[in-house]
Structure 1
Amino acid sequence: MEAGASLPTPLPSSNSPEPTTQKGIVEQLLDRKLSEGDFWYVVVAEWLEHLKKYLGIATTRKYYQNKTASPPGPIYTRRDYAHTVDFLHEDAWRMLVSWYGLAEGHKPM
């Protein structure tokens, strides 16, 4: 790959589990605590809250409680107006990227 060339954007999988199955997996992964030596990735909170709404996972963030329950689409890691980000454990990140893909132009952070 040439210097300065970007990596291909991962595309969502067509064989993602049903939302009820995803919910159980995601809830367990979101419960992970920050631990020294683990790898964590940044995701815009709005995307993660949209996912939670879609999967029926409770949120404490009032601003996001009115999100629609539609699939959230590809993951985005930055927004010009985003002030809030969340951290995902590497295991959660890899699984969600395999299910939803990464929005074009967004990079793992």
Structure 2
Amino acid sequence: MAEDGAVDQETQREEIATLLKTPLCRGETWYLVSSDWFRQWKKYVGFDSWGRCQTGDRNIYPGPVDNFSLLKVGDKLDIKEHLIDELDYIMVPTEGWNKLVRWYGLTDGQEPIARKVVLGGMFVKHHKVEVYLTKLNLCENSNMDSTVTRRFSKADTIGMIRLFFSIAVGY
């Protein structure tokens, strides 16, 4: 587990606050972080001005980043359906994620929940983080008895999907 002692709480607070204001750019990777864990971190570093009296209190140390509340039961890679931004999770850019993991570590057995920024909107296009990936069932030569299921981003190319499939089926 990482120890936050190398970087003081004020520095953590300022660096993450700045990074959370980063505009979304197509193709970048952002990470989902459980709102429960993030709220605890905010208390610990005194992120909100009204909560600064507890800054650095070891009793509220958040521990490793823990996204268990975002994951489907028994699955360490697939997230629950119907999660709500800000209520269930917050999104941080890659640099912010790397800092949080360096300072606090990541709960054993969990994988980062990385998502791409894509262009969305039917009439008015805007950048958004693609929280839910598209599920594809892949098979060779229409052999539906032997399929590989995987979730892909809208930003993934056919070449990337073909590469994954060739690795998954071993050719």
- For structure 1, the 5+ residue unaligned runs are 1-10, 60-64
Relative contact order (alpha carbons < 8 A, sep ≥ 6): 1 or 2 greater? 1
Backbone CA RMSD of aligned residues: 2.6
Letter of the 2:95 counterpart: D
C-alpha displacement at 1:13, in angstroms? 4.0
- Give matches, 1:95-106, under 5 Å: 95-106=99-110
Q: Conserved in 1, the CA contact under 8 Å of 2:44 and 2:61?
A: yes
Letter of the 2:23 counterpart: K
**Equivalent residue of 2:6, what SS?**
coil
- The residue aligned with 1:107 is 111
Q: Conserved in 2, the CA contact under 8 Å of 1:23 and 1:56?
A: yes
> Matches of 1:16 and 1:55 in 2, distance apart?
14
State the structure with more CA Rg: 2
Per mean C-alpha deviation after superposition, the further-off stretch among 79-88 and 12-21 is 79-88
**Equivalent residue of 1:95, what SS?**
helix
> Matches of 1:93 and 1:14 in 2, distance apart?
14
2:22 to 21, 24, 32: 32
What fraction of aligned residue pairs are identical, expressed as a percent? 28
Q: Conserved in 2, the CA contact under 8 Å of 1:42 and 1:87?
A: yes
> Matches of 1:28 and 1:47 in 2, distance apart?
19
Q: Conserved in 2, the CA contact under 8 Å of 1:76 and 1:103?
A: yes
Q: Which runs of 4+ in 1 moved over 2 A?
A: 13-16, 80-83
Tell me how many residue pairs correspond in the alignment. Answer: 92
**Equivalent residue of 2:68, what SS?**
coil
Q: Conserved in 2, the CA contact under 8 Å of 1:43 and 1:78?
A: no
- Give matches, 1:14-33, under 5 Å: 15-33=5-23
> Matches of 2:15 and 2:4 in 1, distance apart?
18
- The residue aligned with 1:4 is none
- For structure 2, the 5+ residue unaligned runs are 73-79, 114-171
